[in-house]
Homo-oligomer: A and B are copies of this chain.
């Protein structure tokens, strides 16, 4: 976790960023009110211990790059050898059937979506899948919306639909929706007939900036979040940033918690850019949102390429999540949105890091400020007691041989560690500081 810059990544990400902005401007979008960080400041200190891969932030030269006429402004490539896949980011990508169709395997598609997203985008996606492509037939399964339905009973509905439709191994599942849909559809694709192809079409900021990338799929257990699942990667992630126009404000803020996380764990300039541009992001300034999504995807792709199965580095993507998952589980899934719980959890992680003497108070304050600016909660709900936190946190996937490991901030802005080597008193003090009892 040494602090050092990587000129390779800085260079390729900056060229990518520039391409993204110019492409979008060329298409007549409103001039960006957001300012973008200069290339030389795009540091990734948390990743400096291992060589960085330029493919994770592929630019115009990659084989995956669509034709010039396309609306794809950025392709971020998740480099996993023969399981590599592209993340397409751009406005109006659902209007480009070719992009989607090139990643469909077989002739049968099952779109997994929910009652909120289906009326908005199911018809459009079905059109994109079948336009000038009469060989493909599309089925869909529309699940109830919300984290509380990310469970075995709802998952079974996907299997039922797939079996009843007689889908075979040469079919493709398409996840159309937010993080819950992506996680469930991905796990269903991993387990149906021991694995079929799938495509992610995330429609929330949470899913576009974070959960659709990296292959973590799964469902909740009544006693804990994401305890049942698989590492299973899509054929591609197709991010049409126009879908953010239909996202409720609360959902937009929820996704912002993960965007903030990416700055905090490894990219101080990105965090500083967010501090300046949070008003533009909340006002849904297209180029600002697109940049936030793109930079988050780049950072995630970089981490996933280095540590697919979360043996170490990847755990840093869970900053605030151990506290946050406890909030989600303790309040019964769905009372708070995922990002809301993560926001409060991130403040708690920052508080504990500060108590350990690992970060300055100024950093803790900046964490609180930016999350407040994003209209996110900075304390857990009243229902969460110290004991409730502890009992749930010890079911977390990052517990190893009984030792609870946490992601904590350390050093200057943008630095973090994943460790079980901390003073237990600091954890107790943080929990007591944030809970009434």
State the A residues within 8 Å of B (CB): 106-108, 152, 156, 159-160, 163-164, 166, 168-170, 187, 190-195, 216, 218, 221, 223-224, 227-231, 309, 394-395, 397, 399-402
Q: Are A216 and B229 in contact (CB under 8 A)?
A: no
In the complex with contacts A156-B152, A221-B163, A401-B107, A229-B191 CB distance below 8 A: yes
Q: Are A230 and B395 in contact (CB under 8 A)?
A: no
Smallest CB–CB gap between A393 and chain B, Å? 11
Q: Are A168 and B231 in contact (CB under 8 A)?
A: no
Smallest CB–CB gap between A185 and chain B, Å? 14
Q: Are A166 and B400 in contact (CB under 8 A)?
A: no
Smallest CB–CB gap between A195 and chain B, Å? 7
- Note all chain B residues with C-beta closer than 8 A to A160: 221
- Note all chain B residues with C-beta closer than 8 A to A221: 159-160, 163
- Note all chain B residues with C-beta closer than 8 A to A227: 159, 163, 192-193
A61 to B282, CA, bound (A): 66
Q: Are B169 and A397 in contact (CB under 8 A)?
A: yes
Q: Are B194 and A230 in contact (CB under 8 A)?
A: yes
Copies in the complex: 2
- Note all chain B residues with C-beta closer than 8 A to A192: 227-228
In the complex with contacts A163-B395, A170-B400, A397-B169, A194-B216 CB distance below 8 A: yes
A170 to B404, CA, bound (A): 12
A168 to B397, CA, bound (A): 6
Smallest CB–CB gap between A207 and chain B, Å? 18
Smallest CB–CB gap between A330 and chain B, Å? 15
Q: Are A401 and B230 in contact (CB under 8 A)?
A: no
A169 to B187, CA, bound (A): 18
Q: Are A159 and B228 in contact (CB under 8 A)?
A: yes
- Note all chain B residues with C-beta closer than 8 A to A187: 191
Known pairs A159-B228, A163-B223, A169-B399 / 16 extra A-B pairs, C-beta < 8 Å: A106-B401, A152-B156, A163-B224, A163-B227, A166-B395, A166-B399, A168-B397, A168-B399, A168-B402, A170-B401, A191-B191, A193-B227, A193-B397, A194-B230, A194-B397, A195-B231
- Note all chain B residues with C-beta closer than 8 A to A191: 187, 191, 218, 228-230
Q: Are B163 and A400 in contact (CB under 8 A)?
A: no
Smallest CB–CB gap between A8 and chain B, Å? 28
A292 to B400, CA, bound (A): 41
- Note all chain B residues with C-beta closer than 8 A to A156: 152
- Note all chain B residues with C-beta closer than 8 A to A190: 230
- Note all chain B residues with C-beta closer than 8 A to A164: 223
- Note all chain B residues with C-beta closer than 8 A to A216: 194
Q: Considering only CB atoms, which chain B residue lies closest to A404 in the complex?
A: B168
A190 to B218, CA, bound (A): 12
- Note all chain B residues with C-beta closer than 8 A to A194: 216, 218, 229-231, 397
A169 to B169, CA, bound (A): 30
Interface centre among A195, A221, A224, A394 (most CB of B within 10 A): A221
**28 A-B interface contacts by CB (under 8 A):** A106-B400, A106-B401, A108-B401, A152-B156, A159-B221, A160-B221, A163-B223, A163-B224, A163-B227, A163-B395, A164-B223, A166-B394, A166-B395, A166-B399, A168-B397, A168-B401, A168-B402, A169-B397, A169-B399, A169-B400, A191-B229, A191-B230, A192-B227, A192-B228, A193-B397, A194-B229, A195-B230, A195-B309
Q: Considering only CB atoms, which chain B residue lies closest to A394 in the complex?
A: B166
6 residue pairs, one from A and one from B, having the closest CB atoms: A168-B399, A163-B223, A193-B397, A194-B229, A170-B400, A191-B228
Q: Considering only CB atoms, which chain B residue lies closest to A106 in the complex?
A: B401
A159 to B187, CA, bound (A): 16
Q: Are B230 and A230 in contact (CB under 8 A)?
A: yes
Q: Considering only CB atoms, which chain B residue lies closest to A191 in the complex?
A: B228
Q: Considering only CB atoms, which chain B residue lies closest to A156 in the complex?
A: B152
